[in-house]
Structure formats: structure tokens, C-alpha cells
Amino acid sequence: MQEAATVRRLSFGRESDMRNSVAWFHHAGALALTLLLLGAARAEEELKNPFAGDAAAAAEGKRLFLKTGCYACHGHEAEGAVGPDLTDDEWIYKPTDSMIFNTIAKGRPGTVMAPFGDQLTPDEIWKIVEFLRDKNRQRHLEQR
Amino acid sequence: MKVRMAHDLVRGAPKFLLALAFALAAHQGLAQGVTDDMLLNAHKESDNWRMVGRDYMSTRFSPLNQVSTKNVRRLVPKWTFSFGVLDAQNTTPLIHNGVMYVTASHGRTFAVNAKTGSMIWQYNHPLPEDAGKNMCCDIGNRGAALYGDKVFVSTPDAHVVALDMNTGKPVWDVALGNYKNAYSMTVAPLIAKGKVIVGLSGAEYPTRLFIEALDANTGQQAWRRYTIPAPGEPGAETWGSDADNLKFGGASAWITGSYDPALNTVYWGTGNPNPDWDGVGREGDNLYSNSTLALDPDTGAIKFHFQYTPHDVWDFDGVNEHVLADLGGKKVWLHGDRNGFLYSIDRTNGKFVYGKEISKVNWATGFTPEGRPIVNPEKVPSYTYEAKDICPASEGGKWWNPMSYSPAKQMVFVPSREICTDIKSAKGERTEGKPHWGIGSIKWNKGHGQLVAFDAKSGNKKWTVDAPSPFMSGVLTTGGGLVFAGTPEGEFKAYDQDTGRELWSYQTGSGIVGSPITFAIDGKQYVAVPSGFGGWTGWATIGGGGAPHLKDSRKGGYVTVFGLFDE
């Protein structure tokens, strides 16, 4: 359905008649929407961890993980307790840097995972993300 | 009803009008309320289950015997009802005149036709987005209470709400604490003498917790009993040199108490001191943590207390339920504690009768004559010493899941586990609204589960059923000679009370961490059990884990009702 809608919109754009103000309005709206979606997608793609691979940041991330109280649900080593294991590969959604960052910042509505964006700076969240990704990498190394 | 109306017509108009009102209510399908007599005599009738413990003695025993050891193999599911939420389903459903009143996680309450499973109403408490953030052990709930024409529930954000029994609409709603600072509630309220009594959760955080009684009609506070004394009060001297311990020492009260109307006493358990595993700075017994408080239901005054684990550094959170039993002419309460012992205590004065091992115990080597445990110093963690293989682990022994007592057989059936831990404590940071455990390192060592039957009078074990995982459900016993219990794998099982022999099993689809009940409608007996894995499961997986096979267990959120197969 989404594909069909996109095709229709593009075809409408090619055949647009600028004398038809209603059509022009639709055309501009579709363009704006497309740009907006592209922009949002780019923003999602651009959420890369500035501390990726930084061991000191991962260590600081663990300190923040404990200080913030994440351990109460996820365990001291993020191995899971009330909340899920954050070191394995068993995630509901693909554990990209963006996804983990957004989940910490905004929470996950409908679950017990609350937003922490009000008490952690973006850099602090990225350090926690790096701690978790580092735990996952260590786990893979151990399994080899 | 017709006979009573004719009788009332003769005796006068006011009673006639009352009867007419009841008749009209029945005609319109409105529920008739729950009276004091119904609650006081709950143990004398069989069709209903009007409070979580079934009666004021919290026996969880029903005299119903249509389903028995002889025919339980014919038990089949009749209906299921989804709660629509995936968290720990810790509830005990209630039954009043053919309607099931059942709470679920995330602040939900439902009224369901108990014969068909059709929903009558639902109440979704308007939870703040961060309500679960400061709950240690999931956003569950342990059940409702019924009184008059109202259904009472506690909520994750520390409210008590009275709902209209017929519509599910809130009648009153009061907040007892600030959930942002970890004052939360999961408890099923107790109704006693027109009051709604509840207890707070939150002792994994810096909190000062309490038991509170509210007027059932208005929600007005009748009394509040803090479980930690104020400065200058008796017991305040048991919290060491740090004066802030009296403000932040925890001692939660999240399991429903029992009530002895003849003694005019409510028995309510209290939990661990905070921080859980670090005793430095709170030298002393830390009253009234890990105790049973014998309370005057009119005033909340403490008549006496019994402390199970003074100066707890193992998180032996002694909140568990009290089964009131009369054994050999002695009025006692029975209490299975997380510290590994089954206790019998004289409920007229709080004197120790016995303490018997439910599971392996090595943190204590015995008791003084007064029932004070003799601590094994090898099992006391510190900042520099990792105590190895402490038995039992923090969850017991017996965890919070309620046991059942058969008055007919004078036997008590305890859901249990054999899991031990290694603990090293550490200095934590005390900040309101943040977890404060005082833990350096902790690992749970692989163990197994068990269901243990005791002779209640002597405390001697009669039989033990071993299982791969701890029994995390409440237990139900019936007049049909059956014991019902559920497993974290989702199996709902029936055993023979006399032998422990398994007679029936049904896979419900998700782990059972709530409590089964039984009831009857139109002469037919039903058995109900909630399913939905969740809650504090760190014991299963952390540091190797006590039951690592339970990692990533499937969640659920529903109740299943069983009846005998109709030919």
C-alpha cells in the first residue's frame, strides 16, 4: 500500500498543472512531506555514537549505569533481572546505537522502561550506550 | 429473597423498602454489596472468594470438594481472559456472587462474568509515564479487596482507589506517597472494621514506609503506622549512629495482613531495612524491619511485635503472610520467611513457638529460646569479605508467594526453593528516588524448586516435591484433598495433599507468579489461575543464576478458569 501511494504521488507530481492551485498545494505538500521524511530518516541515520570504541567512555558509562539506577532492573552487569539482558543479541528491535540512545532518552511506552532524558545529558547517554555495546562485543569474544 | 420480603412487609415499611431496593438491584443486574458478615464468615461458606487470603486467617483453603483427588484428571479449561498487558501477574482473583474481580499489572482492574469470561467493566488507572521507574520488581499488583458496593485497589503510583462495584468508575482516589521517590504499591488491601488497610513498597530505595488505614466510604485517613520509629520513639535507638536511617530505612509492608476479630488484632509483615545488603551505619536490630506487627485495627497502635531477622544484611524481607491457626489449644500465626524458616508464633502475645527449616539454612545456626536467630559470622558479607554460598538466597526459603493451610488436615503447604548466594557489600550512594542496595557483588548459585508440606502443629516435614525451578505461585488447598500450585514454566498442577503425588497438570502458556483460587456457580466448582511471567527475576540469571534456564521466559497476562469436563 505504501509503495502504491508513493507511486501515485510521484506520478501526480510529474503531471502537475501549476494553474491548478489545489494541485499545486498537493504537490508542495507531498514534496514537503517527502523532504521531512527524508530528513527524519537522515537524522536517524546520523545518530552515531561519538564515543564508539572508546574504552574510557565505556567505563564511565558503567559508572553512570550504576549511578542512574539502571542496575535495579537490568542487573549490575546489564545481564538482565526485572528488565531484559542488554548484553546479548535477543532484542525485540535491532539494537542500533540510535535505538538504544532513544530508548534511554525517551523510554519505551507501554513497558516499565521510563525516559531518562531529563536526568542524563546526551553525552552521558552515549557513554551508557557504549558500555552496553562493549558488553555485547565482549560476550561475542568470549563465545568464540 | 421472596420469603424475606413477605416477612418484612409484615414487620414494617423501612425494611420493606430496603428489601425492595435489593430486589430492584438484583432485577437490574447490579451487584449486591459485601457485608462485614460475609467477610467475618468467609471460612464458613464455599462458593465465593471475597478476599485474597479467602478468609481473615489467610488460609487459601476452600471447602469445595466437587473436584477431588478422584476426578481432577477431568479438569479442563472453560475460559481465558486476557489482561492486555505483559508484566508480572501477581494477582489473586476475587469472586463475589458470580463475578470475578481481578487486578493486573500496569494499574488495571477487571470485573468479569465468572461463568463465561465476558468482561463487565475495566478500570485502567491513569498511570504517569514513569510510574514503573522506581519499582524494584515490576509493575504488578497482588489483588483487590471488596466491601460494601466498592472494589478497592492499590496502584503503582501509590494511590488507593475505590471503584463502584457495578460500573468500575472511581468513587474516591487518594495518593499516599510520592512515586517519584519510590513510594509505590502492589498490595491487595485488607478490609477490617470498615477500614481499607494497605502497606507501601519501596525498601530498595531510601524511603520510610508505612501501613495505613482509610475509611472505606470516604478514603479519609484513619491512621498511619510507620514501620520505622520517629526519633525518640521506642525502637529508634536500634538504627545505629546515622540519624538519617530513621528517614530512609525502608521496612516495606507489601503483603496483605491477617485479622483476628476475637483478639481485635491485625497481623502485618514488614520488610528489609535499606540499604538491603549493607549494614554499616545501621548497627542494631533496625526495628521494625523484618517483623510481624500486631496492630490495633482501630488506632494502628503496635500491641507487640516479633522480629524474624534482626539487622538484616541478606535482604530477607520478612513481609510474608500470616496464616492464623488454632493448634492444640494454642492460637498461633504460621509464617514462612525468606530467611528459610517456617515459624509458629503465639498470636496472643508474640512468643516464639517454633522455627523449622523450609530449605537449607546456614546463615543462622539455631535460635535462642526467644526465637532470635544465632547468626553464623561466616555468612555475613562486608566491604572486604565476600560471603560464599549463603543459604538461602534473598528470595528464601519461601518467597512472597502465599502458602496454604488446610484446617481439616492441619497441614501447611509452602512454595519454596533451594538457591544460595555469594554476596559482598559496598557503600552505596543514598539519593531519594534512586535504588540503594549497598551491593558490591552478588551472584546466585544454581539450585532448584520445591513444594514442601508440613504438619502445622509440630513443624515436621511430611513430604517434598522437587522441581527444576522455584515454585513462584501462591498455593491453594481444597476440601477435595488437593493442593494446586503453578510453576514459572507455566504449568498449573494439582497434587494429593496426603502424599504430594502429582495428579494433574496443564500448560497455561506463561509462567505462573500469581495465586490460584476456587469457587462455585450454580453448583459447579471452578478453579482459576493467573498467568504472566515477570517480577524480580535477578535470582534466576545474575552471576550464573539460580535457574538460568528461565532467562527470556515468555511473558503473558491472563487468567484461565477450569471446570470438570461435561460429558
What is the model's pLDDT at position B10? 38
Closest Cα in chain B, distance from residue A92 (Å): 11
Please state whether the peptide bond connecting residue B397 to the residue before it is cis, i.e. omega within 30 degrees of 0: yes
B295-305 confidence digits (pLDDT tens)? 999 999 999 99
B546 touches chain A (CB under 8 A): no
Q: A82: which chain B residues are within 8 Å (Cβ-Cβ)?
A: 136-138, 534-538
From B315, B317, B337, B422, the catalytic residue? B315
Residue A66: closest CA among chain B residues belongs to which residue? B435
- Grid coordinates of B31: 451487584
How far is CA B537 from each of CA B194, B247, B444, B534, rounded to the nearest angstrom? 37, 29, 11, 7
Closest by CA to B343, choosing from B322, B369, B317, B316, is: B322
> What span, in angstroms and rounded, lies between the C-alpha atoms of B537 and A37?
41
| pLDDT over threshold 70, residue B11 | no
**Inter-chain CB proximity B129 and A71 less than 8 Å:** no
Q: How confident is the model at residue A19 (pLDDT cuts 50, 70, 90)?
A: very low
What is the model's pLDDT at position A30? 56
As for the ipTM of the complex, it is 0.81
Please, is A142 exposed, middle or buried when counting C-beta atoms within 10 Å of its C-beta (0-12, 13-18, 19+)? exposed
- Grid coordinates of B551: 532467562
> What span, in angstroms and rounded, lies between the C-alpha atoms of B410 and B477?
12
Q: B435: which chain A residues are within 8 Å (Cβ-Cβ)?
A: 69, 71-72
Polymer length in residues for chain A: 144
**Inter-chain CB proximity A81 and B538 less than 8 Å:** yes
Would you list the DSSP string of B202-243?
-TTSSEE-EEEEEETTT--EEEEEESSPPTTSTTGGGG-S-T
Closest Cα in chain B, distance from residue A114 (Å): 5
Beta bridge partners of B394: none
A100-140 confidence digits (pLDDT tens)? 999 999 999 888 899 999 999 999 999 999 999 999 999 99
What is the model's pLDDT at position A144? 77
> What does the angle CA B94 – CA B99 – CA B100 come to, to the nearest 5 degrees?
35
Sequence ranges of the domains in chain A: 1-46, 55-143
% of residues, chain B, pLDDT over 70: 94
DSSP B391: S
By Cβ distance, the residue of B131, B429, B542 closest to A79 is: B542
- Tell me the fold of A55-143: Cytochrome Bc1 Complex; Chain D, domain 2 (1.10.760)
- Grid coordinates of B78: 472453560
| pLDDT over threshold 70, residue B197 | yes
Buried b (16+ CB within 10 A) or exposed e, B294-305: bbebeebebbeb
For residues B288 and B233, the answer to whether their CB atoms sit within 8 Å is no
- Grid coordinates of A84: 531484559
- Catalytic site residue B215? no
Closest by CA to B419, choosing from B394, B387, B392, B389, is: B392
